[in-house]
Amino acid sequence: MSKYNQLWKCIADSGQDQLMIPFSEVERVTGVPLDHSFLQYKKELLDYGYQVDHIYLKKQQIQVSRTK
């Protein structure tokens, strides 16, 4: 089980086509701070029908969208 599974489930349960998720929300949902390992874990999101489109460091947000 990945430390981001709860986040992936929340994204999938949203049913939205596109989301902007603040880093602080990632931390709140997962209970762990967002770190560099997220880059490797983000591939897991594909199993939930979504993908990470962009990570905005200045805005501290992650853009995700539903895969087609």
- Strand 50-56, strand 61-66: pairing: antiparallel
Place of tokens 């990570």: 55
Read off the pLDDT of residues 14-65 as tens digits, 9 standing for 90 and up. 999 999 999 999 999 999 999 999 999 999 999 999 999 999 999 999 999 9
pTM: 0.90
Confidence of residue 1 (pLDDT cuts 50, 70, 90): confident
Residue extents of the structural domains in the chain: 4-66
Q: Can you tell me the distance from the alpha carbon of 38 to that of 12, in angstroms, rounded to the nearest whole number?
A: 17
What pLDDT score was predicted for residue 67? 95
